[in-house]
A and B are shown apart, each in its own frame.
Chain A
Amino acid sequence: MSYPRRRFPLGWFLLLAGAALLAAGSAAISIGDVRIPLPAILKVLGRQIFGLDLTVDPIREGIVWHYRLSRAVVAAAAGGALALCGCVLQALLRNPLAEPYLLGIAAGASTGAVMVIILGVGAGAVSLTLGAFGGAAAAFGLVALLATGTGGGTERIILAGIAGSQLFNAATSFIVTTSASAEQTRGIMFWLLGSLGGIRWPDAGLAVPVVLICGLLCLRRARALDAFAFGEDAAAALGIETGKVRVELFAITAFLTAAMVSLIGAVGFVGLVVPHATRFLVGPGHERLIPATVLAGAVFMVGADVLSRTVVPGQVLPIGVVTALFGAPAFVAILWRSRRTS
């Protein structure tokens, strides 16, 4: 795919995307099953953020601060993380379809997390993330092995990814449906389509630092990612230690995917659509693309979460349904528009 020459200045893009994130976040904390008037929401924010001495109904405060805002923050972090993964994988693999969901990494992370729960190794979000990381790394390994074993090539890795994700999703379903005690694990729908239902502040404490640190680590490799876009040989010719950088970036994407899957389940399409849309707007240079993609992913996911709670009144759709439902047409539109320039 080629991109238009005239690009959005990065500063403007970040400013607009930041404003969009603020708007989406405001919608996320204002909209819900219960109508809470704006003054009450502002009072909660004033009390919690600026420590103002305002009287607020503790239940309204609980809803806005502990449920809606923590959920919006984790949605933003997860959206940013998944979009970043897609952006990095697309460059590393030189494949426009590469993303954690399609490559089976998210499915592997689900299997890993479910196994940690069922085997009862450790407890809490950290061991869950480590289990998910193990699963993600295993899925990565399997897909790489399948792809290179069958002769390599960019389309092979996608085929291998599809086989891998089917395998790991089946493994997750098998473990969840046959496990004796359902109260230990979440439902199959969570692991296959994702959910922001049970999110609270401690989850944000994991999601936000992870996406910020991994984002900076990827940004440090922005030039290498640019070089990878021209092929591994070209990158090596530019003096980049391709093997080392490749392993490092694969590990970062596997870890990011694992952390997000352990928090919100496997959500597709964000990693595929958002990097392409952003590349279209700010261009393919990764120094610009990485911060822009993370921000755009955050906006997309918070918006998707708002939609998931409002499309069907009184019912919350799985977040993965919304990202695909709105992501797929958006993706088609991007492809359609790029048709003239290619």
Chain B
Amino acid sequence: MTKYIPVAVGGLSLLMAAGLAFPALAQVGGAAVTIENCGRTLEFDEAPERIVSIGQGTTEILLSLGLADRIAGTATWVSDLPGELAEAGANLPRIAENTPGFEAVVGTRPDMVAVQWINDIGPEQGRVGTFAQFEDFGIPVYVSPAECAKSEFGAASGDGARSEAWSSDLLYREVAELADIGGVPSEGEALIADSREREAAAARDAEALAAEEISVVYWFSSPEIDGEAWLAGGYGAPQWISNVIGLRNVVDSHEEWPLVGWETIADHDPDVIVLGTMKRRNQPADNVALKREFLETDPLTSQMTAVHDGRLVELDAHAMNPTLRAIDGVARLAEAISALGLTR
């Protein structure tokens, strides 16, 4: 990845990291931060000292902002931390690997909860609790802005649907807001500048790919290995990745991860199948080896062009969610697809 970062930008972030002391000192004055979040107004008189982070995407933003020592608890892990964050996040307290209980979260006595998924903590209901439940304890809940635009959390797809397409702008807004709340706005600006540059570099790199129409599906996991599959919809992070690289995602549902039958997928016969890799093991098709085995042995899917011609690409499932890793995903996927020789 780092090879895409021009030296100038790397130098700039170093300078900003060195200058961190000034904004941190400025915060002591107690400039209050007010943020509009999912239809509510959150006010922070001072930067929170004990943050509980639910969702690995949020945790990684906090770590990237250098806020590791303010994290009082984490939950909902999907995979290992990326190399550059491994050291900073080595000793993070984990409340739960998956969804934590309400009492366990409150029990860590946080002065703020930051949550990646609105179906963990939401306005009316949530797997952990509701906004009101946390308000009762005086704990503000910050939800990833990417989630506020979601609706329709049906039984078939617990991840909901979007009313508008996700783009990295929503991610940068989250980074900026969390940096403001945490009292490190310049760290936020540096992270955004760095990410934008990596995004642009990856897009430049993928220009050769965009010359040809390449169709693609993103397979996250499945509730049954040989049943229907959760594929990336037309408004989520994988769609954004596809747009940047110039790929055509054959699924256009507005659901985040619609459940699609292999009949339909085989009928679209995409050029490339992107397989999610993850450490998580709570759905039958979480393991990427099982995904491959199914595709190669099933009498229908083994007939698909992508399987036939060995165009199965592995991508960290975390990069398929609206997180900082989606930025890396652009470069990784562009690289993998040009390695398949799909350029003109």
Contacts and interface: CB of A to CB of B under 8 A. Distances in A.
B299 interface: yes
B42 to A, nearest CB: 35
Interface residues of B, number: 30
A66 B264 contact: no
Contacts of B226: 197-198, 200
Interface string A192-212: 000101101100000000000
Contacts, number: 76
8 contacts: A32-B261, A63-B266, A181-B281, A183-B225, A190-B224, A197-B228, A200-B226, A200-B298
Nearest to B262: A67
B224 A198 contact: yes
Contact of A183 (B261, B290, B299): B290
Contact of B225 (A32, A58, A180, A198): A198
A63 B300 contact: yes
Nearest to A187: B223
Interface of B: 156, 223-228, 259-264, 266-267, 269, 281-287, 290, 298-301, 303-304
A180 B259 CA distance: 24
B261 A62 contact: no
A59 B267 contact: yes
Interface in A289-307: none
B224 A315 contact: no
A182 interface: yes
Given A59-B304, A183-B290, A316-B228, 11 more contacts: A33-B260, A59-B267, A62-B266, A62-B303, A66-B300, A183-B225, A183-B281, A185-B284, A186-B284, A200-B298, A315-B259
Nearest to B302: A62
A65 B303 CA distance: 13
Contacts of B156: 315
A1 interface: no
A55 to B, nearest CB: 14
6 A-B pairs with least C-beta separation: A62-B300, A197-B227, A198-B226, A66-B299, A34-B267, A58-B303
Nearest to A309: B261
B267 A183 contact: no
Contact of B224 (A59, A66, A195, A201): A195
Nearest to B304: A59
A57 to B, nearest CB: 9
A101 B295 CA distance: 34
A66 to B, nearest CB: 4
Nearest to B286: A183
Contacts of A201: 299
A33 B261 contact: yes
Contacts of A33: 260-261, 263-264, 267
A59 B299 contact: no
A34 B263 contact: yes
Contacts of B285: 183
A201 B299 CA distance: 10
A73 to B, nearest CB: 14
A59 B223 contact: no
Nearest to A189: B223
Contact of A32 (B263, B286, B287, B290): B263
Interface in A10-49: 32-34
A148 to B, nearest CB: 39
Contacts of B269: 59
Contacts of B287: 183
